[in-house]
A and B are shown apart, each in its own frame.
Chain A
Amino acid sequence: MNNQLARRFTLLAFTSTSLFFIFLFGAANSIVAQPQALEECVERLARKAIALPHESRMSLLWTNHTTLSEQRAEHLRALFEQRLEAAGVRFLQGEAAPALRVSIEQTPSQFVFTASVPSEGSTNVVIEDVARSLVGSDERPSNAIRIEKELLWQQEATILSAVLPAVSTGAEKKMVLLTEDALVIYGEEQGNWKLQATKTLPGPKQPPRSARGQLLVAEENMGRVGILLPGRRCEANLAGDSPIVCSGGGSDWPAGRLLSLPACGAQTWWLKSDGTDWTAEDRLFLRSSGAAKESAPVAEWNVPGAVFSIGAGSTAASAAVVVRSLLTGNYEVYRIELACTN
């Protein structure tokens, strides 16, 4: 089986089932993935530990030295404990019982599980490992902010830009992604994003290192998108099989997005990012449209990665932001919504 495709498929499956985690005013949520690779690894470790000579009563010391969240490690601990208990091991609290020590360690490419199993004064060791690439990483909790953000999508492959076209009430929501070589259109079905169409960008493919692009939508025609590429402008219909049409021309790259929320007043705000390099965390901030550059933002979010683009959301109060997470290396699409705090 093709490894790369399998991994991407796993990620896609994970993504489609674990979306819609809302981060609101400091609510610290994490993306919880349940890839079977980790569970299978722990199952194997448990089988090996049971096969060794062991005490019938032990305490369990479980240590996690990896980027896996404590929540996830605790889930694995429970699974391990369950398997050993099913084999007749009784786990006790406290130091009176000999300790079965399990440690989760991390190498550049693997998670390594070691279990030191006590038996009549000696200890035997069993080890299991699993490729990190088969396991979704955990996300760091976000900082408190005054804007709402919702993770819609994440993938390993590069996303240059994203937009969320407006739809009429009751109509299917859409998400349009611009990758290095294609326009990818998703529709929302029962809470999951389903791939609807992929339209290949015509002309020469951009080199990965400097690939750049920006999606634009016009209020007058939400069924079409504009695409800014280095030295080119393109346009595409979201529906139908018509190809993307491009022509030459310079590109004025939008550096932010103007948002408004009438319920909060007539004011408008710029949503921008600091624009760091790829190795540093970025900041997404909201500043009154008339305010000086030096003025303090009215809201901000310390993004756990670099902001690649800010595109149109489905309403005047929303935006679609592409972030490359420093924690996972994934490209993530967030819906940013203005929240009225009064």
Chain B
Amino acid sequence: MSWRAQIKRVLCSSVAALSFVAVAEPAARPQYGGVLRVELRAASFTLNPRRWKAGSADYATNERLAALVFDRLVSLDNYGRFQPQLSTEWSHNSAAKRWQFTVRTGVKFSDGTPLTPADVVAALQPILPRGLQILATSSGVAIQSASPVNDLLEILASGPYFIYRSNGKGVLLGTGPFVLENTPASSQQAEKTSSDAGGAPAQHVRFRFNELCWSGRPYLDAVDVMLAVPPLRALLDLQLGKADVGELSEDTARRAQQSNLRIWASSPLTLYALKFAAPIKSQNDRTLREVLSLSIDRNAMARVLLQKQADPAPSFLPQWLSGYAFLFDMESNLERAKELRANLPATALGTAQPLRVGLDAGNDLSKLIAERVAVNARGAGIMLQIVSRTTPRGAGDGAGNAAKLESDAQLISWRYTTLSSRDALESLAAASRWEIPEDGVPTDADARYAWEKRMINEKTILPLVAVPDFAALDLRVRNWSPSAWGEWRLGDVWLDQSEPFVAPRDARAKSPAGARP
């Protein structure tokens, strides 16, 4: 009997003749098909990483949607291991000043053109951190710097470092699992949104599967994204079966926990802090800031005000990113604050006239936190006046620079966008216009900790709390394996279609075309 016949027999004959190789019903496996309906808070987005503003609130939306279309050279898995993406191998010299990356062969952009090292150079050169140079080599790219870059993999595995190519008409093409589809109804808007124009916000965009994706076709046929959906509306849509994934706020996440939904929370990704408009100018100024800092009860803010949906922030970098944030002291000391306050002259800011704290009127959480800061400050004898102004979403850079408020300080939110703690500190420092050392923020953990400590003591920014991202998911969403640092990884998600879905009558009428498998 031929071997082929034996194989056939093994597969098809009875159990007794199978010699313990069994053929039975297939095990549960990922299912192809279906459209994932996602609702996001952001009103607009741009896929062009060069237009992303460090620390801004919309950064997460831009990055999540870009991850549908583009790939990076490397990624970091949930076990702390760097995984090959568009680069299959990498190495560096002993000083970590020159890195070589082999570019994966056989990869095609969604229009069928092959990926080349030149594409990688073109995508990365404009956005690489200062001091880094990239050039194409025979099999890939080399990145070099005058100083060691030990954290290059962390940098490249996060933030804006996607690989893309412009098709010459302003549309960016990627190699990722999905392609931005221009539906007839919104094609013009989608085109603008995907391109450099970044103009009119699109309310609904669709990403269809990319059959040329080097890592395989995604399980989903498409991802439908609704933009500008308030968290409460997203929660209701999830409960009504009108959405599969919805972005929530910290208060709606608490409500969602009481419904039949899965809730996801990232590590704390957004820092809320009080940023002073100017550096310390006088001893009184220093004392005022010291009093304010000592009066703030960050623990109560995180535990009570935000009902444990946030972490107190004693430092610029969160514990999950630096590993040493716990070394910073964040205990409030009202008695000491009052003692220092007694030394302030009656004419000082905060005593004779209130310290004006500006905030973005569109950010409810900022207002809530600012009000608590005012209450804490009052306990130490400092008057705060909250000045609320409307800033267009996405207009700011996260450090409050775009909000030209006439205030003494600003309640800012800053989103962490990199896996490198050095890079994160440097971004915050650059946005805050701090003086950065010639060689940049130190690479060495000891020196970096010392530098951060010194900047904390400068009291230009008082960190308050750090808040995670929240999302709720329908139970049909499978293989949901996001990273703690906010990646959703929708390319691996599939929809369990074994249970018939019964959408409410109105939901079926209103859902986008083809939204239901």
**A-to-B contact residues, CB < 8 Å:** 1-5, 7, 48, 103, 105-112, 114, 116, 125-129, 131-133, 137, 156, 206-211, 216-221, 224, 226, 228, 233, 235, 247, 252-260, 268, 270, 272-279, 289, 307, 312, 316, 327-329
* Per-position 1/0 for B7-30, Cβ under 8 A of A: 101111001001111111111111
Interface status of B216 (Cβ within 8 A of chain A): yes
Identify the 5 closest CB pairs spanning chains A and B, nearest first: A207-B216, A132-B80, A112-B323, A275-B27, A209-B216
Interface status of B483 (Cβ within 8 A of chain A): yes
Interface status of B434 (Cβ within 8 A of chain A): no
Interface status of B189 (Cβ within 8 A of chain A): no
B133 to chain A, nearest CB (A): 20
Q: Which of A3, A116, A127, A327 has the most CB of B within 10 A?
A: A127
Question: In the complex, A189→B478 CA distance in Å?
Answer: 42
A12 to chain B, nearest CB (A): 15
Question: Is there contact, CB below 8 Å, between A259 and B20?
Answer: yes
Question: Is there contact, CB below 8 Å, between B323 and A107?
Answer: yes
Q: Which of B11, B91, B421, B484 has the most CB of A within 10 A?
A: B11
Question: In the complex, A115→B15 CA distance in Å?
Answer: 62
Interface status of B214 (Cβ within 8 A of chain A): yes
Question: In the complex, A273→B24 CA distance in Å?
Answer: 12
Nearest B residue to A251, CB-CB: B11
16 more contacts with CB within 8 A, not counting A235-B7, A275-B27, are: A3-B92, A105-B319, A105-B323, A108-B419, A108-B483, A112-B324, A125-B324, A207-B214, A216-B21, A254-B21, A254-B22, A258-B21, A273-B27, A279-B479, A307-B27, A312-B21
Interface status of B449 (Cβ within 8 A of chain A): yes
Please, which residues of chain A bring their CB within 8 A of the CB of B153?
Answer: 109
Question: Is there contact, CB below 8 Å, between B19 and A219?
Answer: yes
**B-to-A contact residues, CB < 8 Å:** 3-4, 6-7, 9-12, 15, 18-30, 76-82, 84, 89-92, 153-154, 177, 213-219, 319-324, 326-327, 419, 421, 445-446, 449, 478-481, 483-485, 491-492, 494
Question: Is there contact, CB below 8 Å, between B492 and A112?
Answer: no
Count of inter-chain pairs, beta carbons less than 8 A = 190
Nearest A residue to B479, CB-CB: A277
Nearest A residue to B483, CB-CB: A108
Please, which residues of chain A bring their CB within 8 A of the CB of B3?
Answer: 221, 224, 226, 235
Nearest B residue to A132, CB-CB: B80
Question: Is there contact, CB below 8 Å, between B213 and A207?
Answer: yes
Question: Is there contact, CB below 8 Å, between A235 and B4?
Answer: yes
Task: Indicate whether A276 sits within 8 Å of B216 (C-beta atoms), given known contacts A109-B419, A127-B446.
Answer: no
Nearest A residue to B91, CB-CB: A2
Question: Is there contact, CB below 8 Å, between A116 and B327?
Answer: yes
B95 to chain A, nearest CB (A): 13
Question: In the complex, A224→B90 CA distance in Å?
Answer: 37
Question: Is there contact, CB below 8 Å, between B21 and A217?
Answer: yes
Provide 23 A-B residue pairs closer than 8 Å at the C-beta atoms, listed in order of the A residue. Answer: A3-B92, A4-B82, A4-B84, A7-B81, A105-B323, A108-B76, A108-B484, A109-B153, A112-B445, A114-B324, A127-B324, A156-B81, A207-B214, A210-B219, A218-B10, A219-B20, A226-B10, A256-B22, A256-B27, A257-B20, A258-B21, A270-B24, A277-B28
Task: Indicate whether A255 sits within 8 Å of B26 (C-beta atoms), given known contacts A109-B80, A277-B479.
Answer: yes
Question: Is there contact, CB below 8 Å, between B7 and A216?
Answer: yes
A314 to chain B, nearest CB (A): 11
Question: Is there contact, CB below 8 Å, between A275 and B29?
Answer: yes
B415 to chain A, nearest CB (A): 16
Question: Is there contact, CB below 8 Å, between A278 and B80?
Answer: no
Question: In the complex, A321→B443 CA distance in Å?
Answer: 43
Nearest A residue to B31, CB-CB: A277
Question: In the complex, A151→B380 CA distance in Å?
Answer: 61
Question: Is there contact, CB below 8 Å, between B320 and A108?
Answer: yes
Please, which residues of chain A bring their CB within 8 A of the CB of B10?
Answer: 216, 218, 226
Question: In the complex, A85→B230 CA distance in Å?
Answer: 60
Please, which residues of chain B bring their CB within 8 A of the CB of A221?
Answer: 3, 6
Nearest A residue to B74, CB-CB: A4
Please, which residues of chain B bring their CB within 8 A of the CB of A127?
Answer: 323-324, 445-446, 449
Please, which residues of chain A bring their CB within 8 A of the CB of B445?
Answer: 112, 127-129
Please, which residues of chain A bring their CB within 8 A of the CB of B494?
Answer: 277
Question: Is there contact, CB below 8 Å, between B6 and A218?
Answer: yes
Please, which residues of chain B bring their CB within 8 A of the CB of A109?
Answer: 76, 80, 82, 153-154, 419
Nearest A residue to B28, CB-CB: A275
A254 to chain B, nearest CB (A): 5
Question: Is there contact, CB below 8 Å, between A107 and B89?
Answer: no
Question: In the complex, A208→B26 CA distance in Å?
Answer: 21
Question: Is there contact, CB below 8 Å, between B6 and A220?
Answer: yes
Question: Is there contact, CB below 8 Å, between B322 and A258?
Answer: no
Task: Indicate whether A254 sits within 8 Å of B24 (C-beta atoms), given known contacts A108-B484, A132-B80, A218-B7.
Answer: yes
Question: Is there contact, CB below 8 Å, between B18 and A258?
Answer: yes
Please, which residues of chain A bring their CB within 8 A of the CB of B480?
Answer: 279
A305 to chain B, nearest CB (A): 11
Question: In the complex, A219→B10 CA distance in Å?
Answer: 9
Q: Give the residue of A108, A224, A279 whose beta carbon is less than 8 angstroms from that of B80.
A: A108
Q: Give the residue of B26, B90, B479, B483 whose beta carbon is less than 8 angstroms from that of A3.
A: B90
Nearest B residue to A209, CB-CB: B216
A176 to chain B, nearest CB (A): 14
A40 to chain B, nearest CB (A): 15
Question: Is there contact, CB below 8 Å, between A328 and B79?
Answer: yes
Task: Indicate whether A3 sits within 8 Å of B20 (C-beta atoms), given known contacts A48-B446, A255-B27.
Answer: no
Nearest A residue to B12, CB-CB: A252
Q: Give the residue of A106, A137, A217, A253 whose beta carbon is less than 8 angstroms from that of B323.
A: A106
Question: In the complex, A7→B483 CA distance in Å?
Answer: 22
Please, which residues of chain A bring their CB within 8 A of the CB of B319?
Answer: 105
Please, which residues of chain A bring their CB within 8 A of the CB of B479?
Answer: 277-279
Task: Indicate whether A133 sits within 8 Å of B82 (C-beta atoms), given known contacts A108-B320, A259-B20.
Answer: yes
Question: Is there contact, CB below 8 Å, between B492 and A316?
Answer: no
Question: In the complex, A274→B29 CA distance in Å?
Answer: 10
A8 to chain B, nearest CB (A): 10
Question: Is there contact, CB below 8 Å, between B478 and A277?
Answer: yes
Q: Give the residue of B78, B91, B214 whose beta carbon is less than 8 angstroms from that of A329.
A: B78
Question: Is there contact, CB below 8 Å, between A108 and B323?
Answer: no
Task: Indicate whether A107 sits within 8 Å of B320 (C-beta atoms), given known contacts A7-B81, A235-B3, A279-B480.
Answer: yes
Nearest B residue to A312, CB-CB: B21
Q: Which of A137, A209, A216, A255 has the most CB of B within 10 A?
A: A209
B80 to chain A, nearest CB (A): 3
Question: In the complex, A236→B127 CA distance in Å?
Answer: 49
Nearest A residue to B77, CB-CB: A329
Please, which residues of chain A bring their CB within 8 A of the CB of B491?
Answer: 209
Question: Is there contact, CB below 8 Å, between B215 and A4?
Answer: no
Please, which residues of chain B bring their CB within 8 A of the CB of A226?
Answer: 3, 6-7, 10
Question: Is there contact, CB below 8 Å, between A329 and B30?
Answer: no
